[in-house]
Amino acid sequence: MIFESTIQKANLIMKLRSMGISSKNVLSAIEKIPREIFLPSNLKDYAYENIPLPIGFEQTISQPYIVALMTEALSLKGNEVILEIGTGSGYQTSILSTLSRRVYSIERIRPLLVNAISCFKRLKLTNIICECGDGFLGWSKLAPFDHLIITCAVEKIDNRLLSQVRFNGMCVVPVGSVLKGQRLKKITVKNNRESDIWEDLGQVNFVPLISDNY
């Protein structure tokens, strides 16, 4: 079984390369973090398929390509402090933790957060700090962050979130809706919203951000 998963993982890495993921650090992180531990037991055989999978509570673990794409877009050097909105399974969080100094992550569904924290402990990832709560307003008392990553779709990115990112920091976020379609956006944060630089990273399909403030 170990040998089989090693082959599956190697095939996934080759698939990600063929889809345009070129960062050796990101590919190494994908290779290092075992995706299967974040999945329900009946789905572990699909861990290294390049597909999203359900994790309960109408949430999903993103497909590895999207995790790699969002991570690569941040151009991490290893000393960054990142805010993640939407811990979910904890898979994306774990990838980020291997490539940055610290990850602060917010999740509104407590059972998912409990499971994610259990995975972090199994992997001995000690640079992740989590909170159960509404991620829409970010984590202002710890701001500014070097980067912001949002793993659920918003129809419009709130200024209160972008203002928690350092000058020239980046925000990677799915923007849009299920009905109208979603595009993954990379925003380089400037002094005011009119000067922010927006880049389009392609079509995506995320569960929507659910918030009392949204």
Does residue 101 have a pLDDT over 50? yes
Q: Average of pLDDT values for 43-48?
A: 94
pLDDT at site 135:
87
Contact by Cβ (8 Å): 94, 160:
no
Residue 5: its pLDDT value, please?
A: 74
Please tell me the predicted confidence (pLDDT) of residue 4: 58
Whether the per-residue pLDDT at 104 is higher than 50: the answer is yes
Bridge partner residues of 199 (DSSP): 186
Region 115-130: what's the mean pLDDT?
A: 98
- pLDDT for position 207: 87
**Is the pLDDT reported for residue 2 higher than 70?**
no
pLDDT number for residue 1: 45
Q: Which domains does the chain have, with CATH numbers?
A: 2-204 (3.40.50.150)
Active site residues: 62
Beta-carbon-side half-sphere exposure of residue 114 (alpha carbons within 13 Å): 3
Task: Cite the DSSP H helix spans in the chain.
Answer: 2-18, 24-32, 64-73, 91-99, 110-122, 159-162
